Structure 1
């Protein structure tokens, strides 16, 4: 059902984003500091080496790329080699790094932080506003992960991995505020820990299971599992829909956390996978509102 996309293994593959304009999938290898690009139409595979951790990328409305780097949130211009630094909410906390990040329907970039050693409660969730300013949204997170917004832009879904929960907030698109936190899905630990997440055109959540060998499709209104997609490797990190009609599910995975004997039994660990013509459709990625 799923197939490896390219013959390349990431140590900690994460954050897949589909660019509808160019037909390109972006994803990162966080600890190695690579941004990967793949164009299914041509088979072209490209890697950008940044020589520092990069936890997430987002598309910009002007064609540039926004990257969450160890040194801060920066723009990677499409026609220049030099990074354009924007801001860093935790430059005073060198023991922390960024983790998952996505843009919201108004063009803000939401980005979580976590301790490099995964100390409990050391992270937070922020938004990078379109003017470059920062806003603190949630404090005391441990491994800030999956984010998604409902089609009507009124609900924000969020994962703090060790909680084994997907929570929902009322979302105000106008000012980016969130309120009325509630738990909508609880994951059984035997199924792995919830990591990255995406949402489909029917409003169902697709959750990557770290240590769980699967991606699950869940109904946030009932919490029920609708479908489980088995994977050939254990550590599933995130997923997103891509392809011409947003009907292909792309899935990132990791080698991180696998002992040598298990890694030998999972030669595909760290690869990017795709479920072509899944029968479901995704939602276009929101872009950072840039000049």
Structure 2
């Protein structure tokens, strides 16, 4: 197997903090967000149309719902969103009163719960938490003391998680029935020259795909050994997240950012904030849907 490929430009855009790609396999569309502009996108690869929805507040992540529409984690907590009506319905806010925090990355576990984590606007160490919204619409904190809650992935019995400033990927025992996690251990640490681990997904062989913010690439990691098996290189410095899409779920969609970049850096990497894609030699899973 080839060890490295270049991602191609899929959609030129200027997202400040592009994040959270989710492939809707039924509609063949990609949802993604620009967190800091409060914008949800629905991208159609067949036409290159990128429909925009102004959510009106910072939006961390979205996931598909089994009964249609989306569940999302936004500045004001968990909410449902109906793209057809452009209707936002509040659900619950587990951090009501914590005005210095916002939601960041999240997704659904294989049992249909929606997990999303928070972080401080000032990047205060340990100010964030990881929450799980269950199918009865109750939110519970799963982890406290998080600084930048980011990548998540699951197997039947494991949960993988990234708190970005730690430069580590941790694995927990995971009980699919109860949603409980326990016994964390580190499977991979990153050096300062590698960038920060950000968003993450998992393929059908149980390997992790991790976006390296500041590292200009997405890497495929063996969670058993921590070894890098494959990498997707990008012509921008700040990939943020990735997900599998396409008819065969073998196309890796990658979001990127242009936040905190000086004018001369934007001139050097003008495609920052765009959406990229790479055809990879393995397949991913269809996105789990929220069952609430």
- The question of a shared fold, defined as TM-score above 0.5 by the shorter chain, is answered with yes
* Pair 1:11 & 2:13 matched: no
Distance 1:13 1:81 in 2: 20
Q: Paired residue for 1:34?
A: 39
The one of 177, 180, 186 aligned to 1:174: 177
Give every structure 1 segment of 4 or more consecutive aligned residues whose post-TM-superposition deviation is greater than 4 Å: none
Distance 2:84 2:215 in 1: 40
Counterparts in 2 of 1:93-108, with a 5 A limit?
93-108=98-113
Distance 1:93 1:52 in 2: 15
Report if aligned partners of 2:13, 2:271 keep a CA contact under 8 Å in 1. no
Structure 1 residue 78: Cα displacement? 4.2
Instruction: Name stretches of at least 5 consecutive residues in structure 2 with no aligned partner.
Output: 1-5
Distance 1:4 1:40 in 2: 12
Counterparts in 2 of 1:135-284, with a 5 A limit?
135-150=140-155, 153-275=156-278, 277-284=279-286
Q: Does the residue aligned with 1:162 lie in a helix, a strand or coil?
A: helix
Report if aligned partners of 1:9, 1:272 keep a CA contact under 8 Å in 2. no
Structure 1 residue 79: Cα displacement? 4.0
Structure 1 residue 6: Cα displacement? 1.8
Structure 1 residue 42: Cα displacement? 3.1
Q: How many residues align?
A: 287
Report if aligned partners of 1:63, 1:78 keep a CA contact under 8 Å in 2. no
Structure 1 residue 189: Cα displacement? 1.7
Deviations, residues 191-237 of structure 1 (Å, cap 9, x unaligned): 10000000011111000001111111100000111112211010110
Distance 1:257 1:8 in 2: 16
Distance 1:161 1:270 in 2: 19
Instruction: Name stretches of at least 5 consecutive residues in structure 1 with no aligned partner.
Output: none
Q: Considering only aligned residues, what root-mean-square deviation do their CA atoms show, in Å?
A: 1.0
